[in-house]
Structure 1
């Protein structure tokens, strides 16, 4: 398993129109973030100590539910790329209101659309949480949502989940 390093570098690539992370000479992570989604276009932004700490917190949260090491690694990088994402309006109408719960950063939650989707909270504020979807599914509005998507919802749409071995998934 690769471990975070100060040698890792974030940057925006205009040719690919993506936020990229150079991991080493032979490995590069391509996020799903295009210029239109970025609040900042980094130019050779080194991976920080805070990002390394967040990486391990995301990794630890995902370990009980994502069995595949490569998929867990990729999901951690998608979660970290979210810091460059432009703040968007919440899409709370995609999901049913849950009983009052408070979800926090690094927590696994369920979002109830037409499908129940497992997600990881990657950012939060007083009113909303931003959730990285860990699986594909359909919203209440009939919109197909894919794994790796980060979606912002009101806090009352995210139901904290107890980790259950039955949730373990592979690619």
Structure 2
């Protein structure tokens, strides 16, 4: 996985209308967050700070057990850092997700599940504002929110915390029949 360093730089590419991260050595990462969801300071050049590196490490550690290729994990972690630093505040869109029987307070970078009427998907928590959390989809398959709207990998949505149960990792154990 990528190792952050002090030469990394955030910048906005007008030609692609996207936030980019210059990783040095002629490598550039294109952030998945649409320009309309970025705060104004994302349109300026910004250094990749020590705080960015720390948050990157937090996300990287928290998503390590997800069933994703290494490159996709790096993509998810970098998009999560960009969202934590440059995503505009947004109103919750909780109506797409089923209410849970008990309240839950997710932590930064925690993997959680969100369930719609048609399916369930894993998300990582980008920010918890107390009653609601900004979450980023962490699965490659799309998730239908309703009959006309769906989410894809690295899309963000804010939901009330009463819609968020903790993710319970399934352990696959081999069983042998004896006898």
- 1:69 Cα deviation (Å)? 0.9
Runs of 4+ in structure 1 off by over 6 angstroms are: none
Q: What is the RMSD computed on CA atoms of the aligned residues?
A: 1.6
Equivalent residue runs for 1:4-153 within 5 Å: 4-40=4-40, 41-82=42-83, 83-100=85-102, 101-113=104-116, 114-135=118-139, 136-140=142-146, 142-153=148-159
TM-score (norm 1): 0.90
* Higher relative contact order, structure no. (Cα contacts within 8 Å, ≥ 6 residues apart): 1
Report the number of matched residues. 166
Q: Larger C-alpha radius of gyration, 1 or 2?
A: 2
Q: 1:10 touches 1:42 (CA, 8 Å); kept in 2? A: no
TM-score (norm 2): 0.86
1:165 & 1:70 partners in 2: Cα distance?
23
Distance 1:146 1:67, change over 3 A: closer
Distance 1:6 1:19, change over 3 A: same
